[in-house]
A and B are shown apart, each in its own frame.
Chain A
Amino acid sequence: MIRVFSAFVLVGLGAFLFQIAGQHPEKAWQAYLVNFILWSAIAQGGLLFSVVLHVTKARWGRPLQGLAESFAAFFPISFILYLLLFFGRAYIFPWLGGDLHGKEGWLTIPFLFSRDAVGLLILYGLGFGYLYHGLKLKRIRGDASEKSREALRARLSVIAVLYIMAYALVLSVLAFDLVMSADPQWISTLFAPYAFVKAFYMGLGGLTIVAALVRIRHREAASLTSSHFHDLGKLFFAFCLLWADFFYCQFLVIWYGNIPEETSYIIQRTMTLPWSRLAWTVFILSFVFPFLILLNKQVKTKPRFMIGLCSLVLVGIWLEHYLLLSPSLNPKADSIPIGFADVLITLGFLGLMAMAVRFALAHFPELIPVQQQEVK
């Protein structure tokens, strides 16, 4: 298993380096950026699941929380990946040297990188803090006094709340800096919320996949009943709708307002070839499919099926990220410039993510919801 993933990583790395060496380094960096945003989002959103459940004191998802926390293992990787992004700046920031419509103060490489780095550090720091205390809580369960446990829980809650805030703010800044800035003239106030809701949507997708795998692996041993999958599925469904809603909220307002500064952006992406094709694909993969399918109750409880569906959705979201960035990066493109290399690079990231999660689960078995540890 582990070998397969490391193979993925190597392949991805290879493809990436090959691209960089070749005459299209920009392609490599674009793929890199898209994947960086996507996989980091999965990790951040995944952990958020656990955090939210903790804050709302919801009982129903306890066994899933551990799995969600395992995503935090990708944080350090994500941070390193982010730092590497610096070397691709020339290719991923089309506004460099362009007309910034008075945004010069905000869109400068040093400022941008430093503020985002700080943001990520805070977010990931809090993430780890949460993870740490969470594990501690699980470890000392049973023995230590109720009092010390209470203290821990309290601290956990504080961190959790902070994490939620950081999540919203940091992902907003990232969305503005890495994605929205691609077209410096364009703004949409909902863009940031759209981004972090999407991240949670993806996180839930990732979580569903992992949970399903665990379920398949441990069979009945896993304390994941079909009702868990049902609830998780419902949540996934809800966020599918919310994501679509946020898209619609932006699309409608801009369409109705008919102000070129705003419309040109969506026209380019959704109404003109070649990108419109991509837009429809995203719409079908990440909304139509899950929406129609998840209306049904049974499928939600079928792990294998859910793996397939969630992967589809994630592919859709990958394309969506690509759709947001690529038109600004390749304005002249007359066909969608997705190549084999992009696939390989994506595989590489998938490998990284998988290894991270596996690592976490291997080192902290208490994260895995299996029968022997009673779920309170």
Chain B
Amino acid sequence: MVDLTRRHFIKILGIGSLTFAPGCTSRPEKNLFSNVQAPEDMVTGKATWYASTCRECPAGCGILAKNKEGRVIKIEGNPLHPVNQGRLCMRGQAGVQGVYNPDRIRRPLLKKKDGWQALSFQEAEAFLKEKIDAATQKGENRVHMLTEVVGRSLSALFDDALHKWRSQPPLVFEPFAYESLKTANQRVFGLDGLPSYRMEEADFLLSFGADFLETWLSPVEYGRKFKQMHAVNDGRKGFFVHVSPYQSLTCANADLWLSCYPDAEVVIGLGLIREAFQHGRGKSLSSELRDALQDISSPFTKDKVAELSGVDLDLYGKLITRLQQARKPLIFGTGTGAIGSNSLQVDTVANLLNTLLDPELGLLEFQNRHLVETASRRSEVLTFFKGLAKEPEGVLLLNNVNPAFALPSSGSPVDVLKQESLFTVSFSNFMDDTSRLADLILPVRLPLETWDEYSGTSHIVSMVQPTMAGLTGAPHLGDLFLRLAYGEKSPAKNFQEYLSIKLFSSGVIKDQKDWVNMLREGGLFEKHASGKPSPQWISGDEVRRTLGSVSPPRNAELTFFAAPSLRFFDGRGANRPWLCEVPDPLSKVAWQSPVSINPQTLRQRGLKQGDVVELRSQWGTMEAPVYETEGVRPGVLLMSLGQGHELFGRYAEGMGTNPFKLLSPEVEPVAGSPIFTVNLTSFRSTGRSLGSAHTEGSQGFRTQFGIHYRLRLAHTDGSKVQHGRKIALTTELQDLGKEEKEQKPGLGMWDFPLVLPLPEGYDKKRDVYPPHDHQIYRWAMVVDLDRCIGCNACAAACYAENNVGIVGPDRIREGREMAWLSIERYLDEKNLKKVTFLPMLCQHCDNAPCESVCPVFAPHHSKEGLNNQIFNRCIGTRFCSQNCPYKVRRFNWFDWKWPKPLHLQLNPDVTVRSKGVMEKCSFCVQRIKEAHGLAKDEKREIRDGEVQPACVQTCPTKALVFGNLMDKNSQVRKLTEDWRAYQVMGHLNTKPAVIYLKKVVQEI
């Protein structure tokens, strides 16, 4: 299943380890060669790939970091890694922007009355050691630690260290800690953890809010698995129903969105349990459990459910039948966030449903568990802080956590950090809401620069290794702890060694060879057989206790949802310019987080999109611009988490607002999970409209006479529907293959045939121009709309690979975004709840209208069919963009800025465009050239799949395929014969080389 293509193999050969490359610096602009004798695996102009593990979220995908002249310029998925199999999400892509972030703290900072005082790392370390020793002297439990989820070895080190300091092991703080799911698992399966799911084997998915395409557990992995079960094969595809009050990206990919009142999921779940019994399921259950369940679920008849939850009765009925027919159904509980007060019940119900419908529970891998399960419950975190508040003594170590931002602010426990007596140390690299409260900021190396072992799931060992030398000279966290805890008597001379010892002792590796192999391949990935669940079943009265108390659905009031963000996760991504610049796939709004409201609600309040509203809950108040969408129920207000940092560097400060402010500090009593929904006490317009949001160094000045025409929201889309044009097409599952037969080719928009950008695509009756030939290759791409989930990974990858400029909200508002590839979101004209995502990039037309109008041949047709854009020939007439029917050309209105050291990330193979120049997708021509060189050396032609543009490479669902059309056996060529194939606006006879496959939709 790991497809080890040529390209990957080359990469892995290239994979080295910085163990052999001690001296790479990151100052190439000073001297091109990092040092006098360059390490043997560093050849100037040639990339070296280092295998490591992504630490942008707890999922732990395997990555390959592309290192050129000693600096990492791009991160790609590690094809050997079972979690993500070579693919990577946009957050992972943006990891480099953490390392090169211009606002990164380069030296330790000590808080003084009059602000921060910079220390050397040695001083800071000594200072810290002092403090810790002092605290340890004072007595027990004087050293407290709060950390993000870390690898087993490192957390072991933490434990040892803290133990040495006579203190409790550290507390793992993750804003999204899946408490309710863990509790439910514990209740139902007797397993206090997070098993992973064999989603790919299911034929029916029912999710009560689990957003597994965005943030839930392991998005890249489940994205892939989802499309495996949801792709069309021989006329059938799995079915996916999403039950929730609003439309997340995951929900937008569902075949059916069963929109219900907030907190009504459990009602539906119970109803489904009742129906399951009706259909004679649950034989395997113990009788008293069965009775209990039946008692509880019996009142939830179809009508009752419909009435309580506000779902459409008839749809609900269909859902029941589909669910009963399903061979291998899989039910998910609540999502990562946006969890209501019934989350525990919902997750329990989900687990019970799984048990009822598939007593084998074959789709749950109980042995293969997600590491994030080690995160502590919110309740524990709060107790931790309460404890501190009681006696604010000793030292508090904070490893890359941001409680000040991620905990509801009202009566925030975090205030304890302000206490004099408590010496707080933050190992963070950024001045964020929490570290600014710390007394000492001691930045450590970031994941791309450091050693660790982080295995996202329990059946693999995945390495974290330095992919480049430290940019700031900060210490490895591991080394630091070794030194702090053991001083001279350290068990290992550094954490790297400590790590190898650990791995050796745990029998993961036998010898140096294994070690090196691990480093080469990024880990040890042999599969363990997943065991059966140990069904220590929930007891009847337990069920009664858990499910008896269901808080009633909130159909009346205005309910506010804070959803985890595809782009910023819990907010840790908010200072990565790419994540800000790439717009949210559903709202197409960049740089801001508006609050999504149903048009009906808006009309009642006399509001319109772009108005700034004030939301007030009993816990707090905040203001945000309004975004109008059918994607939320009337009465529901939705905002994504992650922005609104008071402090977090230039890209995050003042961008959007932080919905945590509104949330209740309380937790769900049983599971101890936070509650991400809240009832609004007031919701009113501020009368203001969103002005131009503050942004970093806004280039040039810009004032408008009269009205500012663009909508105030920094959104990149024009119309949300396609006005009956041939752009993003869908087809019903049942008419698979029908259309092509009845279709008789003509000249109109709808009956124009698919014409390949090859000589055979020309027809004397239609074409004024003679066909032209290409040399061996005619590059082309196939985009399968049925596979595209709109996750934006491709867009981010494109930014990373092609040095695409970051323009900021003001410029985006003016319509000057630079994205070469953007995921266009089209709503169905008849049903605005149905979404189709359309990756739009240069179509590399054979008869490209943009070319001939240029006075200087800047865009022209290459021998291999590419639509080349010669940057330094362009004089900026912009005629090409005018004449491009796909509007995919981008213009450099100004010189875009890469504040140091962000410029170190720039890809040396791609020109950085100066002002006044047109640019656009080049099919990553630099990669094609590279492949050419390789093929030439080996005296052969480029193999199919050898060239992969950045977007294709990273797409988690393999929606994009790239290759040579002239090769009859190439994958692209074969796909073009699929009857779903069509060209956007093909009747213009541009003969695009980007061929789309219609999305296949199905009714329940």
Determine direct contact between A and B, CB below 8 Å. yes
Residues of A at under 8 Å CB distance from B?
101, 185, 255-256, 258-261, 263-264, 266-268, 271-272
Decide: A267 and B765 in contact? CB cutoff 8 A. yes
Decide: B847 and A264 in contact? CB cutoff 8 A. no
Query: Given the interface contacts A185-B747, A267-B764, A267-B768, does A260 sit within 8 Å of B987 by beta carbon?
Result: yes
Query: Given the interface contacts A101-B748, A185-B748, does A268 sit within 8 Å of B989 by beta carbon?
Result: no
Interface string of B737-750 (1 = CB under 8 A from A): 00000000001100
Q: How far is the CB of B535 from chain A (nearest CB, A)?
A: 65
Query: Which residues of chain A come closer than 8 Å to B748, judged between CB atoms?
Result: 101, 185, 261
Query: Which residues of chain B come closer than 8 Å to A266, judged between CB atoms?
Result: 768
Query: Which residues of chain B come closer than 8 Å to A264, judged between CB atoms?
Result: 747, 765-766
Question: How far is it, in angstroms, between the C-alpha of A272 and the C-alpha of B764 when the chains are bound?
Answer: 9
**CB pairs A–B below 8 angstroms (12 shown):** A101-B748, A185-B748, A258-B768, A258-B849, A260-B766, A261-B748, A263-B768, A264-B766, A267-B766, A268-B765, A271-B768, A272-B764
Q: Residue of A at shortest CB range from B847?
A: A258
Query: Which residues of chain A come closer than 8 Å to B765, judged between CB atoms?
Result: 264, 267-268, 272
* Other A-B pairs beyond A259-B989, A261-B747, A267-B767, 8, CB < 8 Å: A256-B852, A258-B849, A258-B989, A263-B766, A263-B767, A264-B747, A264-B766, A272-B764
Question: How far is it, in angstroms, between the C-alpha of A267 and the C-alpha of B767 when the chains are bound?
Answer: 8
Interface string of B973-991 (1 = CB under 8 A from A): 0000000000000011100
Q: How far is the CB of B134 from chain A (nearest CB, A)?
A: 81
Question: How far is it, in angstroms, between the C-alpha of A213 and the C-alpha of B88 when the chains are bound?
Answer: 87
**Chain A CB within 8 A of B752 CB:** yes
Query: Which residues of chain A come closer than 8 Å to B768, judged between CB atoms?
Result: 255, 258, 263, 266-267, 271
Decide: A260 and B989 in contact? CB cutoff 8 A. yes
Question: How far is it, in angstroms, between the C-alpha of A261 and the C-alpha of B765 when the chains are bound?
Answer: 11
Identify which of residues 722-776 in chain B touch chain A, using a CB-to-CB cut-off of 8 Å: 747-748, 752, 764-769
Question: How far is it, in angstroms, between the C-alpha of A124 and the C-alpha of B92 when the chains are bound?
Answer: 78
Query: Which residues of chain B come closer than 8 Å to A101, judged between CB atoms?
Result: 748
Decide: B752 and A260 in contact? CB cutoff 8 A. yes
Q: Residue of B at shortest CB range from A99?
A: B746
Decide: B747 and A258 in contact? CB cutoff 8 A. no
Question: How far is it, in angstroms, between the C-alpha of A259 and the C-alpha of B752 when the chains are bound?
Answer: 11
Query: Which residues of chain A come closer than 8 Å to B987, judged between CB atoms?
Result: 259-261
Query: Which residues of chain A come closer than 8 Å to B988, judged between CB atoms?
Result: 259
Q: Residue of B at shortest CB range from A271?
A: B768
Question: How far is it, in angstroms, between the C-alpha of A259 and the C-alpha of B766 when the chains are bound?
Answer: 8
Q: How far is the CB of B841 from chain A (nearest CB, A)?
A: 22
Q: Which of A256, A261, A266 has the most chain B CB atoms inside 10 A of its CB?
A: A261
Identify which of residues 955-1004 in chain B touch chain A, using a CB-to-CB cut-off of 8 Å: 987-989
Interface residue total, chain B, C-beta cutoff 8 A: 15
Interface class of chain A by DSSP: helix
Query: Which residues of chain B come closer than 8 Å to A255, judged between CB atoms?
Result: 768
Question: How far is it, in angstroms, between the C-alpha of A266 and the C-alpha of B765 when the chains are bound?
Answer: 10
Q: How far is the CB of B867 from chain A (nearest CB, A)?
A: 15
Query: Which residues of chain B come closer than 8 Å to A267, judged between CB atoms?
Result: 764-768
Q: What are the 5 A-B residue pairs with the smallest beta carbon separation, nearest first?
A: A260-B766, A260-B747, A261-B747, A263-B768, A260-B989
Identify which of residues 49-72 in chain B touch chain A, using a CB-to-CB cut-off of 8 Å: none
Question: How far is it, in angstroms, between the C-alpha of A267 and the C-alpha of B766 when the chains are bound?
Answer: 8
Q: Residue of A at shortest CB range from B769?
A: A258
Q: Residue of A at shortest CB range from B768?
A: A263
Q: How far is the CB of A230 from chain B (nearest CB, A)?
A: 41
Q: How far is the CB of B879 from chain A (nearest CB, A)?
A: 13
Q: Which of A185, A264, A266, A272 has the most chain B CB atoms inside 10 A of its CB?
A: A264
Question: How far is it, in angstroms, between the C-alpha of A101 and the C-alpha of B746 when the chains are bound?
Answer: 11
Question: How far is it, in angstroms, between the C-alpha of A185 and the C-alpha of B989 when the chains are bound?
Answer: 16
Q: Residue of A at shortest CB range from B755?
A: A260
Interface string of B846-871 (1 = CB under 8 A from A): 01010010000000000000000000
Question: How far is it, in angstroms, between the C-alpha of A268 and the C-alpha of B769 when the chains are bound?
Answer: 14
Query: Which residues of chain B come closer than 8 Å to A259, judged between CB atoms?
Result: 987-989
Question: How far is it, in angstroms, between the C-alpha of A185 and the C-alpha of B747 when the chains are bound?
Answer: 9
Q: How far is the CB of A266 from chain B (nearest CB, A)?
A: 8
Q: Residue of A at shortest CB range from B765?
A: A264
Question: How far is it, in angstroms, between the C-alpha of A361 and the C-alpha of B441 when the chains are bound?
Answer: 109
Query: Which residues of chain A come closer than 8 Å to B989, judged between CB atoms?
Result: 258-260, 263
Q: Residue of A at shortest CB range from B986?
A: A260
Query: Which residues of chain A come closer than 8 Å to B752, judged between CB atoms?
Result: 260
Question: How far is it, in angstroms, between the C-alpha of A268 and the C-alpha of B765 when the chains are bound?
Answer: 7
Identify which of residues 869-889 in chain B touch chain A, using a CB-to-CB cut-off of 8 Å: none
Question: How far is it, in angstroms, between the C-alpha of A40 and the C-alpha of B847 when the chains are bound?
Answer: 43
Q: Which of A255, A263, A271 has the most chain B CB atoms inside 10 A of its CB?
A: A263
Q: How far is the CB of A25 from chain B (nearest CB, A)?
A: 29
Q: How far is the CB of B410 from chain A (nearest CB, A)?
A: 61
Query: Which residues of chain A come closer than 8 Å to B852, judged between CB atoms?
Result: 256
Question: How far is it, in angstroms, between the C-alpha of A358 and the C-alpha of B769 when the chains are bound?
Answer: 51
Q: How far is the CB of A332 from chain B (nearest CB, A)?
A: 14
Question: How far is it, in angstroms, between the C-alpha of A95 and the C-alpha of B767 when the chains are bound?
Answer: 24
Query: Which residues of chain B come closer than 8 Å to A271, judged between CB atoms?
Result: 768
Q: How far is the CB of A184 from chain B (nearest CB, A)?
A: 11
Q: How far is the CB of B791 from chain A (nearest CB, A)?
A: 35
Query: Which residues of chain A come closer than 8 Å to B764, judged between CB atoms?
Result: 267, 272
Question: How far is it, in angstroms, between the C-alpha of A266 and the C-alpha of B769 when the chains are bound?
Answer: 13
Q: Residue of B at shortest CB range from A270?
A: B768
Query: Which residues of chain B come closer than 8 Å to A268, judged between CB atoms?
Result: 765
Q: How far is the CB of A171 from chain B (nearest CB, A)?
A: 28
Q: How far is the CB of B771 from chain A (nearest CB, A)?
A: 13
Q: How far is the CB of A119 from chain B (nearest CB, A)?
A: 30
Query: Which residues of chain A come closer than 8 Å to B766, judged between CB atoms?
Result: 260, 263-264, 267
Question: How far is it, in angstroms, between the C-alpha of A362 and the C-alpha of B715 when the chains are bound?
Answer: 78
Question: How far is it, in angstroms, between the C-alpha of A258 and the C-alpha of B769 when the chains are bound?
Answer: 8
Question: How far is it, in angstroms, between the C-alpha of A272 and the C-alpha of B768 when the chains are bound?
Answer: 11
Q: How far is the CB of B772 from chain A (nearest CB, A)?
A: 13
Query: Which residues of chain B come closer than 8 Å to A263, judged between CB atoms?
Result: 766-768, 989
Question: How far is it, in angstroms, between the C-alpha of A261 and the C-alpha of B747 when the chains are bound?
Answer: 5
Question: How far is it, in angstroms, between the C-alpha of A193 and the C-alpha of B764 when the chains are bound?
Answer: 29
Question: How far is it, in angstroms, between the C-alpha of A264 and the C-alpha of B752 when the chains are bound?
Answer: 13
Q: Which of B748, B752, B852 has the most chain A CB atoms inside 10 A of its CB?
A: B748
Question: How far is it, in angstroms, between the C-alpha of A299 and the C-alpha of B536 when the chains are bound?
Answer: 113
Q: Residue of B at shortest CB range from A261?
A: B747
Query: Which residues of chain A come closer than 8 Å to B769, judged between CB atoms?
Result: 258
Query: Which residues of chain B come closer than 8 Å to A256, judged between CB atoms?
Result: 852
Query: Which residues of chain B come closer than 8 Å to A272, judged between CB atoms?
Result: 764-765
Q: How far is the CB of A158 from chain B (nearest CB, A)?
A: 45
Q: How far is the CB of B455 from chain A (nearest CB, A)?
A: 57
Identify which of residues 138-166 in chain B touch chain A, using a CB-to-CB cut-off of 8 Å: none
Identify which of residues 638-658 in chain B touch chain A, using a CB-to-CB cut-off of 8 Å: none
Q: How far is the CB of A108 from chain B (nearest CB, A)?
A: 21
Q: How far is the CB of A358 from chain B (nearest CB, A)?
A: 47
Query: Which residues of chain B come closer than 8 Å to A258, judged between CB atoms?
Result: 767-769, 847, 849, 989
Q: Residue of B at shortest CB range from A263?
A: B768
Question: How far is it, in angstroms, between the C-alpha of A263 and the C-alpha of B847 when the chains are bound?
Answer: 14
Q: Residue of A at shortest CB range from B763?
A: A260
Question: How far is it, in angstroms, between the C-alpha of A255 and the C-alpha of B769 when the chains are bound?
Answer: 9
Query: Which residues of chain B come closer than 8 Å to A185, judged between CB atoms?
Result: 747-748
Question: How far is it, in angstroms, between the C-alpha of A41 and the C-alpha of B767 when the chains are bound?
Answer: 33
Q: Which of B752, B765, B852, B987 has the most chain A CB atoms inside 10 A of its CB?
A: B765
Question: How far is it, in angstroms, between the C-alpha of A104 and the C-alpha of B765 when the chains are bound?
Answer: 26
Query: Which residues of chain A come closer than 8 Å to B747, judged between CB atoms?
Result: 185, 260-261, 264
Q: How far is the CB of A178 from chain B (nearest CB, A)?
A: 22
Q: How far is the CB of A262 from chain B (nearest CB, A)?
A: 9
Question: How far is it, in angstroms, between the C-alpha of A258 and the C-alpha of B764 when the chains are bound?
Answer: 13
Question: How far is it, in angstroms, between the C-alpha of A258 and the C-alpha of B990 when the chains are bound?
Answer: 8
Q: Which of B747, B766, B988 has the most chain A CB atoms inside 10 A of its CB?
A: B747
Q: How far is the CB of B487 from chain A (nearest CB, A)?
A: 78
Query: Which residues of chain A come closer than 8 Å to B847, judged between CB atoms?
Result: 258
Q: Which of B769, B847, B989 has the most chain A CB atoms inside 10 A of its CB?
A: B989
Question: How far is it, in angstroms, between the C-alpha of A185 and the C-alpha of B767 when the chains are bound?
Answer: 16
Q: How far is the CB of B726 from chain A (nearest CB, A)?
A: 14
Q: How far is the CB of B747 from chain A (nearest CB, A)?
A: 5
